[in-house]
Amino acid sequence: MTRRVLVLGGTGEARRLAAALVADGVDVVSSLAGRVADPVLPPGEVRVGGFGGAAGLAAWLEADPVAAVVDATHPFAATMTASAVEACATVGRPLLRLQRPGWTEQSGDDWRWVDSLPEAAEAVAGFGSVFLTTGRQGLAAFAGLTGRCVVRSVDPPAPPLPARTTVVLARGPFTVEEELALMRQHAVEVLVTKDSGASMTAAKLTAARELGLPVVLVRRPRLPSGLAAVATVEEVLAWLGAQPG
Ligand code: NAP
């Protein structure tokens, strides 16, 4: 097994990977962007803050003896993923992408796929009560909405926000019952979400299904071509085990 590993994190699976590596006696350093004021920290060493683009990450890798990099950032953290590809190619370190599968539509679902947050805003413009679960960043795309909006995020969102916004500060996971109660309380008519995948935040989709509500889903950005990707922590451990020590 590789001696020291950099995990680009900010996700539940990145924390699970760090925990598994620590349990295996691997020296792991997890990197967080620093967006959340009070993040859930993974076990092992943690560094916080951007690297300064691909060049900054390449310089960091030159200065640190990590033997491999695992990009376990969120499926929508495309800038970090692109930086990791470029930096690892520059300094010649092996890189693997850990990315959870997206969500799958079930019979009876009314899912409406869009390619961006502005397209999501267009898709919900006619609704009277919109539940926005796309995260704190990028909410400006919805600022022109005139219906009631419920925005849920871990930290308070910054303006501009839709004029009739109720902010719900909460950190998942949420149960289906909690999601049903919130949606009923605010008489939600449509749910907006990124295709984040993972069971931790899937309860909102189950609740929308039970209430017969449409869901607007933002498609994931494409992974850079040639980037090796796996879906589970176990596959990452197997890959690391096959790397030269
Ligand atoms: P992004 O747009 O891809 O990245 C923007 C910049 O943030 C990067 O260029 C990098 O700065 C810095 N950065 C991002 N992830 C980092 C990491 N793990 N360690 C150090 N620097 C990082 O990313 P984002 O969408 O803003 O996401 C930021 C963080 O939140 C990520 O760790 C991601 O896993 C997590 N997250 C994102 C979402 C989402 O919906 N996008 C949802 C949940 C969690 P430099 O260029 O200076 O290196």
Q: What is the pLDDT of residues 140-182, one digit of tens each?
A: 999 999 999 999 999 999 999 999 999 999 999 999 999 999 9
Q: Which helix (H) or strand (E) holds 82?
A: helix 78-91
Neighbouring C-beta atoms of residue 87, cutoff 10 Å: 23
**What was the pLDDT predicted at 198?**
82
Which ligand 1 atom is the nearest neighbour of the CA of 76? Answer: 41
Is 135's C-beta closer than 6 angstroms to any atom of ligand 1? yes
Q: Which ligand 1 atom is nearest residue 135's CA?
A: 40
DSSP 25: T
74 lines ligand 1 (CB under 6 A): yes
For residue 2, the model assigns a pLDDT of 63
Tens digit of pLDDT at every position of the chain (245 positions): 668 999 999 999 999 999 999 999 999 999 999 998 899 999 999 999 999 999 999 999 999 999 999 999 999 999 999 999 999 999 999 999 999 999 999 988 999 999 999 999 999 999 999 999 999 989 999 999 999 999 999 999 999 999 999 999 999 999 999 999 999 999 999 999 999 998 777 999 999 999 999 999 999 999 999 999 999 999 999 999 999 76
Which residues, 6+ apart, have CB-to-CB distance to 230 below 8 Å? Answer: 96, 97, 98, 99, 236, 239
Atom number of ligand 1 nearest to Cα 14: 34
Expressed in angstroms and rounded, the spacing between residue 143 Cα and the centre of ligand 1 is 23
Does 77 sit in the ligand 1 pocket, CB within 6 Å?
Answer: yes
* Per-residue pLDDT at 245: 65
Nearest-atom index, ligand 1, CA of 79: 3
Q: Cβ(79) to ligand 1 under 6 A?
A: yes
For residue 133, how far is its CA from the centre of ligand 1 (angstroms)? Answer: 17
Q: What is the Rg, in whole angstroms, of the alpha carbon atoms belonging to the chain?
A: 19
Contacts of 104-107 with C-beta under 8 Å, sequence gap 24+, read 106/209
Integer Cα distance of 131 and 204 in angstroms: 10
Q: Record the tokens describing residue 42, joined without a space.
A: 């993974």
The two structure tokens encoding residue 48: 């916080």
How do 129-132 and 148-153 pair as beta strands?
A: parallel
Q: Within 10 A of 119 (CB to CB), how many other CB atoms are there?
A: 15
Kindly give the number of the ligand 1 atom that is closest to the alpha carbon of 8. 18
Question: What is the Å distance from ligand 1's center to 190 Cα?
Answer: 27
Intra-chain end-to-end CA distance of the chain, in Å: 6
Distance, CA 210 to ligand 1 centroid (Å)? Answer: 33
Helix (H) / strand (E) element for 89: namely: helix 78-91
Q: Where do the domains of the chain lie, and which CATH numbers do they carry?
A: 4-101+222-241 (3.40.50.720), 111-218 (3.40.50)
Spatial distance between the Cα atoms of 34 and 157, rounded to a whole number of angstroms:
15
